[in-house]
Structure formats: C-alpha cells, structure tokens
Structure 1
Amino acid sequence: MRFTAYVEDGQELDIRPARAERAWMSKLNEGFAYGCLPMMISNQHGWEICSPVGFTAIWNGGDHPDCVAILPDEPGNHRIVSHFGFGIVTFSFPAVFRTEPGYDLVIQGPPNMPVDGASPLSGTVETDWLLSSIAMHWQLTRPNHAVRFRKGDPLVQVFPTRRGDLEAFAPEMKRVSDDPEVAGYMEEWLTRRRAFQAALHQPDSPAREQRWPGHYRRGQDVTGTKVAPPDHRTRQRLASFEDRRSKEPKPQ
C-alpha cells in the first residue's frame, strides 16, 4: 500500500524507518533493556522525522506564546515555533502526507524516548482526503528549564492506521478463574517467573547468564512449547521512503 509524503519544493524532510535503539537503553546495565521485545517493536513502529536543526526551548511558565523562547543553532526558517502558548512548541512538516483510502495517520513522539522537561502531544489525522500540512506538538513542562533537541534527533514518529478498527472491538472483562486453561497457565507462569527472578540474585546461575527468560521472543510459552503464529515478529522491517520527486519543480 502507498504512503506518500509530498515535500514542498525547495524543502527537505528527514524521515526514515524508526530505529530500535535508544540512548538510555544502551546505557542501562549493558543494554539489558533490549531484551524487552514489546518495547523494541514499539520503538520501530513507524517512521521517525528528525529535527532539521539543533535548538533549545525555554518556557517561563506563562500562557502566552511569547513565553516560550526557541533558540536554533543556525539561522533559517526551521518551522519550529510557539503558536498556542502554554509552553507548547510546534514543529510544522514541510510536507503533505497521503495514505490509502480508509487509513488515518497517527502522529506522536518517538516511543520510549523521554525528554527531560517536555512531553509529546499526539494526534490522528484522516490523511486519505485532507490535503494540508500537519504538525507535531511538544509541551514544555518545567518552567525556566532549557530543553535541548540536537540536529537529527527524532521529533516525531508517524504510522498509518486503518480507520474504525478500534471501534470494531467488543471489549469484555472476566476473572482469570473463569477460564481453567488461563488460570492454570498463569499459575505456571508466576511460579516459573518467581523462580527465575530469584535465580538472578545467585552468582554464576544460568538465569543470571541468560538475563531474560526469552520465551516471548522465541514464540514459546513458559514450558518451551512453540505456540506463536507464523507471523510472530522479533523486529519490524519498514521500507524507506523512495525519492520520486521530479528533477525540476513544476511552475506555479
């Protein structure tokens, strides 16, 4: 299916498949966090758009747009402004995104990439018909604190999602004991997990060498039986945007 970014003439858009790596994950106990497959899949869920310039944003705590100072490392129109006040910084894309019929575009901050003093604000846009540029917003949360983004840092992560899928679900709530199979499995899971965690505190134990049980990554249940469907994933492999822009801009 097509997912197209129409980049404005004379502008560039630094967009690429989202990376699995996070600086804090690499530092945490020799990369221990990379053993968490759900987090790794989430990190790669979409395409990241990177900052065209390094900049610092400072909010003095007021409500007016002028209460935010945005200090770019280099001059130019970088489309990073404060439109709304309340400490909100807006990054406008120099592009119009278009998705297939029936698909929206989710716009959010890069997952599992916290920024001290700033929180990303998410949005969902019907990009199968809306032909206008969209934006990403970050809200500064600590007055008089300098929030730093470097050139090339991911500011945004986007991915298409089919409209109406969530509304088609019929949520329900049950007790674990309502299903003997679920209850039996949960008891076995808890017993094995507690034993594994206890073994982590024993020097030279197999669990300490293993660090993670790893059943989910291998598509197995806690007994080691293969139960995952054939489409079980241990990473996402998204295609890069293919540059099909014409060599010369069209006359207006």
Structure 2
Amino acid sequence: MSENANELIAYSLHPNQLADVFPEPAPIPRDWMDSAHQRHPYRCLPLVIANQCGWVLRCPVGFEAYWYGGPGKGDLELRFDRPDNRIVSHFGSGVITFTVPFLFRTPPGINLWVKGPANWIKDGVQPLEGVVETDWLTSTFTMNWKMTRVCEWVRFEQGDPFCMLVPVPRGLIESFVPRVVSIESEPELKKQYKQWEESRSGFLVGLTSQNPEAVARGWQKDYFQGKTIDGKSVESHQTRLSVKPFQENPKS
C-alpha cells in the first residue's frame, strides 16, 4: 500500500499486457471537435475540462461488433483484427465486455467512477458506467458497452479509448443540501446575471447583423478567461488540467 494519501495505484495483474492497455491521462482532442467548423467546440471550456478529467484505457486491438438483437451471449458477434480474448460477449443483451487488467486502489473514502470517455462519440454503442469502492475492493471490474443498433456493424479501432477513470469522494453527493430559491433573494447576483444577459443578447444581435466589432471579437471569452462580469479574474480558474501520468514501478 502507498504512504501517499493522494496516490492512485493500478496493480498490474498481467504485466505482459501493460504495453497496449496502460492507463494514461485523458487527452483534450476529440475527432468530432477537430472536424467542426473552425474547431468551435474547443471554445467551450466545460467540454475541454471534462475531456481531461481522469485517465483512459485504450483498446488493445481493432474489432467489429454485430448484435443480432437477442438476449443471449451468442447474439453478439465479435470479429477481431487479430485474436484477442480480452474483449468478449459475457453478459448477453448486446453488451461488449472489456477486461481491465488492473486492480485499482484509491485512498480511503475515494471511489472510482468507471465510465466512457467524456464527449467521445461512437454511433451504435453506448458505454455503461459504474461507481466502484476501490479503496477496499480486492477484485477487479470490467468496462462494458451496450450495443444500441441491431444488425449493424460497429467498429472499435486499436487505440480507441474504451474506459475513463475518475476519482470521486464517497458521500460527496449525499452531503449536499439542494434547494431552489428565487434569484430575487440575491439582488447582487441578479444584477450580475442581468448584466451578463444584456451583454450576451447584445453580442448575439451584433453577430447576426454582422456588426464589425462583434464579428472581429468572434466569441465571448469571459468564462474561458475566468473573468467575472465586472472584469475581475478568478484565481482558482482552470483552462487546462495537469493530470499526472501513471508511473510504472519495476520493483513492485
């Protein structure tokens, strides 16, 4: 076990498989964002941050999946570019199961949200997500994708991310006391919101009417730059995450 309270450990169960399924910091780029007009999606900072928010595991082999629509294991056909037994039809119902060759250990009270890669789209198949108590569990888990198209081939390329790992504090969501109140109860917040609303509306009108100043500006960057409506900078604002890579310890 680690003496570092913030250490996330991946115990390798099959060292010979580390080369092609090694956890790495989730990357910023997405193909659909790259191909968008002027790469506009990258202006959406919440998307960009979510893309990086964890670690990914990548597919060790290219393969195609075909679901005949039935509930049985045999109703899912898998065709591999080369033989590989780490991706199987185990649960039936059109579910593709990926072996995760690690036993993860998180600090006390920290779960792992095991999910599909954020904002990574694959037509015809949907990642199934789970939250695992990895601070005490002594067994592994799998990553699963559910086919959503019947009688259509869906392809995973070698190197496609199939799993994203995001640490989350256990009990955090339950600790919140949510409530809905009228914005009238916070006059200063309402004032700031109205200032933003007017600024946004004016900017959109300017774009529509081809106002030279609005066109030259292109987009409103206040949130991206971490600036409040009155121009103050937010010190804790992030535009990029520095997620540390896993280090392989040959002595472990």
Q: Which amino acid aligns with 1:49?
A: L
* Contact 2:61/2:84 (8 A) holds in 1: no
Counterpart selection for 2:142 from 130, 135, 143: 135
Q: CA deviation at 1:92?
A: 1.4
Q: Which amino acid aligns with 1:51?
A: C
Deviations 1:143-181 (A, max 9, x none): 011111110011111021111111111111111222212
What percentage of residue pairs aligned between the two structures are identical?
37
Query: Does structure 1 residue 86 correspond to structure 2 residue 89?
Result: no
* Contact 1:201/1:208 (8 A) holds in 2: no
Q: Which amino acid aligns with 2:91?
A: F
Query: Does structure 1 residue 214 correspond to structure 2 residue 221?
Result: yes
Name the residue aligned to 1:5.
10
TM-score w.r.t. the length of structure 1 is: 0.92
Name the residue aligned to 2:127.
120
Name the residue aligned to 1:74.
82
Unpaired runs of at least 5, structure 1: 248-252
RMSD: 1.5
Counterpart selection for 1:244 from 242, 245, 249: 249
Name the residue aligned to 1:52.
60
Q: CA deviation at 1:246?
A: 3.4
Change (3 A) 1:183 1:240: same
Compare 105-114 and 173-182 and name the one that shifted more.
173-182
Compare 176-185 and 17-26 and name the one that shifted more.
176-185
Query: Does structure 1 residue 18 correspond to structure 2 residue 26?
Result: yes
Structure 2 counterparts to residues 223-234 of structure 1, below 5 A:
223-226=230-233, 228=234, 230-234=235-239
CA distance in 2, matches of 1:209, 1:63: 56
Q: How many residues of Structure 1 are paired with residues of Structure 2 in the alignment?
A: 244
CA distance in 2, matches of 1:186, 1:90: 46
Q: CA deviation at 1:8?
A: 1.7
The SS at the match of 2:184 is helix
Unpaired runs of at least 5, structure 2: 1-5
Q: CA deviation at 1:47?
A: 0.2
CA distance in 2, matches of 1:209, 1:138: 44
Deviations 1:115-149 (A, max 9, x none): 10011111011111101111111111010111111
* Contact 1:18/1:47 (8 A) holds in 2: yes
TM-score w.r.t. the length of structure 2 is: 0.92
CA distance in 1, matches of 2:80, 2:38: 34
Q: Which has the higher helix share?
A: 2
